[in-house]
Structure 1
Amino acid sequence: MNLPTEPPSKVQSDLSPTKSTQSWFPRRLSIEEGGIERVTNEERQQNTTKFWNATTFWFSANMAVATLNVGSLGGSLGLGFWDCFIVILIVNLASDLLPAWTATFGLTGLRMTTFSRYSFGYWGNMLVVVFSMIATTGWNAINSISGASVLNALSNGKFPTWAGVIVICTFVWAICALGITWIHRLDAFIWIPPLIVWCVAAGTGASSFTSEAPRALEGSDKAAAVLTYMASIFSFSVSWVNCAADYNVRMPHDTPRWKIFSATYVGIFFPTVLVQSLGAAMYSGTVTSPEWKEAYSSSSIGGLLAMALQPAGGFGKFLMVLAALSAIPNNIPNNYSFALHAQNLGSWAIRVPRVILVTFGFVAAIIVGCCAAKYFEDTLQTLLSVIGYWTVIHITVVLEEHFIFRRRWKAYDFDAWNSPALLSFGWAAIGAFAFGFLGAALGMKVAWYSGPIASLIGTKGANIGHELTFAFSGLVFPIFRWIEKRYGSQ
């Protein structure tokens, strides 16, 4: 990978904390003080990230109870286990390629939301910033609710879900406040306990699992359920697109891109398929047992996990605590990257200390999480869909800008990352964004709305919003971008 090695621009050097200006205490404890400033080659010589951290980081983030929850959505739509497994496998094989590719952008020294300025323009990128902040807040809340539901089930309802949300978010805040070095240190091994939990749960709960579908679906109704489930699985994977690069900015600049790509793909694909498949299997227990069905109704995925681990006795309760805590590494990318997204709101935002923005994201996640817990299943499906729609626009515009208009890494001036005069305004991306959401409105299927095209499939409709979002935004962006380059400066 040939990336420019010139010294950073004056704008960057004015904003970046140097070794001489950093206080002794944070440097001694490896506490991160900087923000979205481009990480220079000299800075990467300290606290260097190893390429295998790209695997362990995503192992920890995806070996989580929220992943289990997403896997169980297929059963709630009426699909049997093998239908769910095929969807999980095929969708992840393809969709995990996208965050693996964007993870390599970290070698530029720029975070993903900042890198997007080269395709969305300086001002058009504000759409990416705002939606990224909404998405990370939503995921922070949803993942916390997933973990809190396990604590709720463990306590037989005595420990309320809102209290669990606060506990999990607080731990996440503390780790994110320390910064990237500590995140990689912890994520090197904290994926192991939840892996043990899922293996034990698969063994102790297997006798209650079945391949029988919860409901008899045929023809267009089954196609609709499959399409909607595909949308949920796809949205879960591509949600990492908006932050995957953030955790590789301290890798040596000469690290081969294929190493980062491969390490990230492995780190996302294997735990996601494993845990989502277990979630689908656990939901099948509601078909064979009224007790499992009641447990799911009262405590969601936490109730199913409690039933699966019940044969393990006291050890099973200990494992449930570990499962609940898996929401912590699952939420680290959301709370940490929230601050980086926010710093792209303008030069004034860069000067706001990262820890303050991390704290703001922490408070927002608690408020949203406590409110969303009451309508969790509908909230989860709706959030997965909406986040997926805008993420499709994001990755489509970045892909087309790179492969159609840039074509090589040398075409980017990475020193211009914070210079509005050297970047486009972003009219092309804004137009693509508008057309993309038009496609989403026509094809979306969520709890409170079904688009006119989505309603044509099956009796209840099917979620084909992602396909239409990609088609609409992908077709118009090259046209708008050509016009922008022809009559603009960038």
Structure 2
Amino acid sequence: MDPEKRDLENRDHSTDSHGFDSENGTADSDAADEIKRARDIQNRTGLFRYMRKGEEWLDAKLGIETQGVDRIPEEKKQPPSVINIFLMWWSLNIHVGVVPLGILGPEFGLSLGQSIAASVVGTFLGAICTSCTGTLGPKLGLRQIACSRYSFGFWGSKLCSFLNVIIGGGFAVVNYVVVGQILSACSDYTMSITVGIVIIAVISDVISIFGFKLIHTFEKYSWIATFILFLVLIGQAAPHVHPEAPEEDGDSGLLFAGNFLTILAINFSNASGWCSMAADYYCHFPSTTPFWKTFTLTFWGVVIPTCFSVIIGCCLGNAAITAAYPPYAEAYEQHGLGGLIATVYHPSGWSKFCLVILTFSVLGNNIAINYSSGLSLQLLGHYFHAVPRLIWSLLFVIVVAVLAIAGQEHLSTIVSNFVSLLGYWTVSFTIILMMEDKIFRKRSGYNLTVWDQPSKLPIGVAAVVALLAGYCAGGVTGMAQTWYIGPIAAKFGGYGGDVGIYLSAAFTAVVYPVLRTVEKKYIGR
């Protein structure tokens, strides 16, 4: 047997399911190879050295996080309260950027009941993905994309890093545009949406650089004011919400089925979109944290606040679009969601106060996206790792702000097209990580000392091929977008019905175990 292969097997079997040495009960805390290489690049290259010194200076003066993507050994973990696993999702999902998802149902011609049903079912299914992958954070002490190296390999996980940044960017664009609309409405439309986008981008980036500790503290409380204002919002809009509208029967036919499936897919993708980031916020929790506890707190932490925000959107869409209450319909037509919310709140002084507060509701979501996107960019390679996370987060914010400014007039199109596209890869990502964890590593566990050593990680062919099979064979044939309707999706009426997530899941679940078995047999890792 090859010595390296024999050594890997011995090390795998000397660790328990959490990656700890069975003899001394602790994980190997020696500096990892990737960290050494990143530090070497910083020390020998002027630009990288200056960036590192700048980061250290900010850490000394302001206490920002400099941890980056490095694995967190058990003895160095600093866990917040376990209830944070539940509460942090409230700030991530109770904000004005989630409301447009609910408005899409009425835009697609669904009644209030139909919109809510599709949104809630989609959210429930999508939350399962995020809850599953998040359980790897405490177990491995690694960020989510780093966890994927144990199935995708060192090189294949770079694809996941790239896709994760795309996901975060899409959600952030929606948030920026909505806030831009709200700030514009607050100024009686004397300030452009572009200025509002720039303001929220700057604030989001400044907060995100402080890292894990501040994010957990901020997320624990920042949702409360928004929750109260949303209750007031629906209370003031309630007299103009008409559940019986539209009067014609929309419960039959392929057109209805297609629209229902599409709204379900969009909400699935919104809830599952966090599956490539969840472990980023759990890696400080002890490895002994039970699977069921992490899963349950995450699941309900995602489901409850997301459904709350989306249902608010369904009601607003019903009043402004389906029932077409004139003041609401005019405000939404001319000024988008920001104008609609400004009109719902009354009188004028109270409305402006609420708009200002709601402007900051997206911060919880934005700073988490900025943080995770910076980590994902660091995982693209040694030179990327050598660049401090705060630099990557800043560049990410700049790009997102530019995209938001360019797409500010097409919010509904961005939401309906972009968000549903996410589900095709997130469901495959989840299935691959969970099959690896529950089937292929059920006995051997994880050798955490090799998380950054390409030669000792899986080559990743099985995972990458399974992901692409799910996306291409399942997602492409089952997607229903304004620019493309797959042949299977086209069976559900003229606008199609999005069934890509189900097809992606099916293809991935079949392809991965077969290829991974072959990979382990002939490659040995």
The residue type equivalent to 2:128 in the other structure is: L
Query: Corresponding residue for 1:238?
Result: 272
Shift of 1:487: 1.5
Query: Corresponding residue for 1:250?
Result: 284
Q: Tell me which stretches of 4 or more aligned residues in structure 1 moved more than 6 Å.
A: none
Query: Corresponding residue for 2:73?
Result: 40
Shift of 1:28: 7.0
Query: Corresponding residue for 2:23?
Result: none
Specify every segment of 5 or more residues in structure 2 that has no aligned partner in the other structure, as ranges.
1-15, 21-25, 40-52
Deviations 1:387-441, CA, capped at 9 Å, x for gaps: 2212122112112222221225x51112211000111221112211221122111
Deviations 1:125-152, CA, capped at 9 Å, x for gaps: 1211111111111211111112222222
Query: Corresponding residue for 1:183?
Result: 215
CA contact under 8 A between 1:116 and 1:398: conserved in structure 2?
yes
The residue type equivalent to 2:198 in the other structure is: I
Shift of 1:14: 3.7
CA contact under 8 A between 2:100 and 2:415: conserved in structure 1?
no
RMSD (Å) for aligned C-alpha atoms: 2.1
Within 5 Å, which residues of 2 pair with 1:436-451? 436-438=470-472, 439-451=474-486
**Farther-moved stretch of structure 1 (143-152 vs 31-40):** 143-152
- TM-score using structure 1 length: 0.93
Within 5 Å, which residues of 2 pair with 1:5-24? 5-11=26-32, 14=36
- TM-score using structure 2 length: 0.87
Query: Corresponding residue for 1:381?
Result: 416
Shift of 1:443: 0.8
CA contact under 8 A between 2:379 and 2:385: conserved in structure 1?
yes
Residue 89 (structure 1) aligned with residue 110 (structure 2):
no
Q: How many residues align?
A: 483
Deviations 1:177-209, CA, capped at 9 Å, x for gaps: 111111112122111111111010011111011
The residue type equivalent to 1:436 in the other structure is: G
Give the Cα separation in 2 of the matches to 1:289 and 1:228: 26
Say which of 203, 225, 231 aligns to 1:193.
Answer: 225
Give the Cα separation in 2 of the matches to 1:215 and 1:306: 28
Q: What secondary structure is seen at the aligned counterpart in 1 of 2:77?
A: helix
**Farther-moved stretch of structure 1 (171-180 vs 316-325):** 316-325
Give the Cα separation in 2 of the matches to 1:266 and 1:484: 36
Say which of 394, 397, 407 aligns to 2:442.
Answer: 407
Within 5 Å, which residues of 2 pair with 1:13-412? 14=36, 26=59, 29-45=62-78, 48-107=79-138, 108-214=140-246, 216=248, 217=250, 218-286=252-320, 287-310=323-346, 312-407=347-442, 411-412=445-446
Specify every segment of 5 or more residues in structure 1 that has no aligned partner in the other structure, as ranges.
none
Shift of 1:58: 0.9
**Farther-moved stretch of structure 1 (417-426 vs 256-265):** 256-265
Shift of 1:23: 5.3
CA contact under 8 A between 2:269 and 2:423: conserved in structure 1?
yes
CA contact under 8 A between 1:136 and 1:338: conserved in structure 2?
yes
Give the Cα separation in 2 of the matches to 1:59 and 1:411: 33
Give the Cα separation in 2 of the matches to 1:214 and 1:291: 18
CA contact under 8 A between 1:79 and 1:215: conserved in structure 2?
no
Say which of 462, 465, 471 aligns to 1:431.
Answer: 465
CA contact under 8 A between 1:116 and 1:125: conserved in structure 2?
yes
The residue type equivalent to 1:270 in the other structure is: I
Deviations 1:63-85, CA, capped at 9 Å, x for gaps: 11111111111111111111112
The residue type equivalent to 2:412 in the other structure is: E
Say which of 512, 517, 522 aligns to 1:477.
Answer: 512
Instruction: Indicate the percent of aligned positions where both proteins have the same amino acid.
Output: 30
CA contact under 8 A between 1:119 and 1:429: conserved in structure 2?
yes
Give the Cα separation in 2 of the matches to 1:203 and 1:469: 40
User: Which has the higher Rg, Structure 1 or Structure 2?
Assistant: 2
Give the Cα separation in 1 of the matches to 2:182 and 2:500: 31
Shift of 1:59: 0.7
CA contact under 8 A between 2:129 and 2:427: conserved in structure 1?
no
Give the Cα separation in 1 of the matches to 2:507 and 2:292: 31
CA contact under 8 A between 1:100 and 1:265: conserved in structure 2?
yes
Give the Cα separation in 2 of the matches to 1:257 and 1:24: 38
The residue type equivalent to 1:112 in the other structure is: Q
Shift of 1:326: 0.9
Shift of 1:54: 1.6
Shift of 1:231: 0.5
CA contact under 8 A between 1:102 and 1:244: conserved in structure 2?
yes
